[in-house]
Amino acid sequence: MLKKQKLKVPFAYDGEKGLCAPQTAEKGKQYFCPACEDTVILKKGEIKTAHFAHKVSETCNQETIIHKIAKQRIVDVICEWKRGRINAPIFKRQCKICSELTDQPMPDKVERAVLEYKVTNGFIVDVALIVANEPAAAIEIRVSHAVDENKARLLPIPFIEVDGQAVIENPTIFEPVRDCFKEFTCKRCKQTIKQFGVKVNKIAKQTNVDLPDRYYRYGFWECWKCKREIILFAWPKTSDWDKSAPKVKPIPRTIQYRYSKTVAGRYWVNTCPYCKSIQGDWFLFAYPGPFFGVRCKEDSQDAYNKDMQDIVVSYAEYKSEL
């Protein structure tokens, strides 16, 4: 008969239900398993590394122990932060603009963390982050099983899922294995968006061009002929050879139906408000043009927002190379 493997207990409850590490535990005191609350034995000597010994159990297992300790560690560290004893815990978030993994401190508005909180539709989250006495977000612990897809779809609050063992080792940095929080924009990209907005608004004012908020994607570039900065537009087309008029009126005044020697025909194209020259699509969509990487195929607000995001990314990447 196979001998059952001893359970590893990295932290144990003391008599006051506080988590205690074996390195700081005291001999002679009682300690308990955070999962099953059975007694564990402190092994602390000069040869072996200090640890808690858990007797073989029919009611406890390693996954439950890690899950329980990780949840409690998160609650404890947030409590320490709110008491001013440590810095804010950090979320590792992927910026929706540049895709870089960036540190996002836990917002000050988080008041506390609550263990095993029951949300409005009956699901229980591992740790709820409370704002204004209401659950605003959740942290779920993954050991060997991910959050059930039905739960993930129906949870009424955003959540992240973090690795239980990683949390036990460092409960001040949360690197999600699944991130269902609201989209995140890093400080650098926020600054880039701001700079882009200031720049295009300045050029639009100088050229008396209105900036749309749908359908017409916009950026800026130098006119190839007069070298002055101008606003340029892109809009959904069925193909690269689509010569039909833009569907949304009014059409920006610098988009005109003009004859081009290059394409040997007339089509709707950007023009310079200063020198009236045609600004061919090839230059605008090729690198490092303002619409490089922009597909501009769908006529929807989501597609519009995504394309404008890509335009800002293209602007940021080009600017960083200058």
Q: Tell whether 172 and 192 lie within a shared domain.
A: no
Predicted local distance difference test score (pLDDT) of residue 321: 60
**CATH assignment of the domain containing 73:** 3.90.1570
Task: Examine the pLDDT at 97 and tell me if it is beyond 50.
Answer: yes
Buried b / exposed e over 223-252, threshold 16 CB at 10 Å, is: beeeeebbbbbbbbbeeeeeeeebeeeebb
Residues 82 and 118 placed together within one structural domain of the fold: yes
On whether both 316 and 202 belong to a single domain, the answer is yes
Please write down the HEC assignment for all residues of 192-232: HHHHHHHHHHHHHHHHCCCCCCCCCEEEEEECCCCCCEEEE
Of 122, 150, 180, which residue sits at a domain end?
Answer: 180
Percent of the chain scored above 70 by pLDDT? 97
Entry pTM: 0.78
User: Do 69 and 56 belong together in one domain?
Assistant: no
Taking the mean position of all CA atoms in its chain, how far away is CA 141? 18
Contact 159, 181 (CB under 8 A): yes
- Domain span at residue 227? 187-321
| Helix (H), strand (E) at residue 317 | helix 301-321
197, 175: one domain = no
In this structure, the answer to whether residues 231 and 266 fall within a common structural domain is yes
Q: Is residue 83 included in any domain, yes or no? A: yes
| Least confident window among 16-25, 130-139, 173-182, 205-214 | 16-25
Q: What is the mean pLDDT of residues 135-149?
A: 96
Are 146 and 248 contained in the same domain?
A: no
CA separation for the pair 10, 12 (Å, rounded): 7
Domain-located, residue 2: no
Q: Are residues 51 and 124 in the same domain?
A: no
How many domains are contained in the chain?
3
With 50 as the cut, is the pLDDT of residue 322 above it? no
